[in-house]
Structure 1
Amino acid sequence: MFRVAICEDDKYQVDINKLLINKWGEKRSIDVSIKEFYSAEEFIIKNESSLSYDCIIIDVGLKKINGIELARIIREENKDISIIFVSGLEKYISYGYDFDAIHYLIKPLNAEKFSRCLNKAWSRKSLYKEEKEIITIKKFGDIINLKYSDILYCESYQHYVEINTIRSKIRVKKKISDLEKELDEKLFIRTHRSYIANISYTKEIKKNSIVLKNGVEIPVSKMKKNQVKDLYFKYF
């Protein structure tokens, strides 16, 4: 999944961006999720964190809080996310270097250049995932490195936690609350006192449970129901 945010106050330009992004995703067989925001203020208010995205496309000429200021706010929180500036003016190009932007594109957009920028953003995401999305598990003296993408869900049994991966089950002596702290909160959710689920493998949300893509049903407590829904819709 490649998660993109578009911060642009021109509806016509938003539609063009979405069309080009979707065509790029189809060509490369990459699932794309796009959210649009018509001001920097809307992006800031509606998003708890820019970490929800892999790439943010920012119109420099946004009103009130402009695109440069928005990029500054984003970079204070997130040094790794890909930023692509879009503008009708060339005079702010130097800011692209200040914020380590992938590119500063001039309107009207050149489809080929835009695709190259998305390619670079996708490559950055892959590298970032490779470096960051791994958890180290100690199992009876052995050390196991697990990719987040391999973990389906975790279930606790007294003093042990069973980590269910796409290939096997790993049982470790650990409190589920301690494991929860080690996992990425943007991807994993404590659905119940005994369960942690990888939201990316969720196929369906039911009244008191979620169903994973492999058919396993995970209970969801009343207290966690809204949090589970929020993370699900934020991810997808």
Structure 2
Amino acid sequence: MIKCIIVEDERLAQQVIEAYIERTPQLQLIAICNNALEAKDVLLKQQVDLMFLDVQLPGMTGLNFLRTLQTMPYIILTTAYADYALESYEFNVVDYLLKSISFERFTKAIHKYLEINLPAETKTKSDHIYVKSSGRFIKINFADIMYVQGMKDYLKIVTVNSNIVTLQTMGEMEKILQSKQFIRVHKSYIVSLNHIKSIYGNNIEMAKASIPIGINYKEKITGLISGYFS
């Protein structure tokens, strides 16, 4: 779990980042700080892996705060102004997010952090994922996932033993499952190649459901099948 803190004096901005952290299974929020002094106290007492730091803070700017630290966690800067972008690279920050921050842009910043901190062999050999559901982090083996169904901002992950609902987007899950023997077959469905029983017409037969093939994905499925007979 990636332990992170928010250092931000605007309550609305705090709430936005906090909500995004809640939606990201890999992240654990351990503190929200209103200024640099509060943040420094947290850094002295707890392990922090990632800090979301506002550039403009009361009393001391975020960049000046970084200059006071002998050791620091990874930093994602947040600000309403682009003026500090060049100066921020002095600290080798992971990313620089301009307010108002969209969840898609937030997710890209987290992926940058993961690219830095997860060795390539760890990413490719991982055989499971953790998702947050009903206040718990649940471990799901890729081999057990039959299909994933998108439901607006939520996903239903159907495994051989259970159905798990989590607050996540299809785009995020598709990136996680790519190269794991999964394929997107519809705007609302990702299926495991290992759990397909048959393909007929515009449907994929699974053990627990019949999954529709979207018009935009038909050619990809046809190409997949043709590959077995070429």
TM-score normalised to the size of structure 2?
0.48
TM-score normalised to the size of structure 1?
0.47
| Higher CA-based Rg | 2
